[in-house]
Every structure is written in structure tokens, then in C-alpha cells.
Structure 1
Amino acid sequence: THDNGTTTEFDATVRIDTPGEADYYRHGGILQYVLRKMIAS
């Protein structure tokens, strides 16, 4: 989001190199992944 409130959208290709990165992606990001792990333990 820019200072004036407008946004810029673009298409991108995701590169996932490791099984850990795939887990982060499936959980919606590393923060969500870590929080779910903390709640589960």
C-alpha cells in the first residue's frame, strides 16, 4: 500500500526449494506455521 492509499498488484511465480518452505506455504506463512506449532505443543 502506497502513502496515498493505492495498492499495486502483480502476478508472481513462487519457488519452493525445501520441505520446510512447503510447510510454511501450506500454513499461510511462517508466522502462522510457528503459532500453530506453539499451540499444538
Structure 2
Amino acid sequence: MSPFTKLMFGQKQIVNHLQKAIKKAKKQVNNYKSSNFFIRQF
């Protein structure tokens, strides 16, 4: 594997990891928003 290929492969993994992290964060924010919404109902 050439250094360039390694770099490209590494970047791909980082991007995938970031996308997963962003999805997780968005889900948590949505959960937080909906729980806050329910709390305000009472």
C-alpha cells in the first residue's frame, strides 16, 4: 500500500467516523428537544 493510498483510506475512515458521530449527536439533540418539550407540557 502506497502512502497516498493509506492517506486516502485513512481520510475515508475519519469521514465515516465523523458522519456517525454527527448522526449520534443529532439524535441526542432531538431526544433532548423532545424531552424538553414534554417537560414544558406539565
Do they fold alike, i.e. is TM over 0.5?
no
Normalising by the residue count of structure 2, what TM-score does the alignment of the two structures yield? 0.32
Larger radius of gyration: 2
Could you say which structure has the greater relative contact order, defined with CA pairs below 8 angstroms and 6 or more residues apart? 1
Structure with more of its chain in helix, by fraction: 2
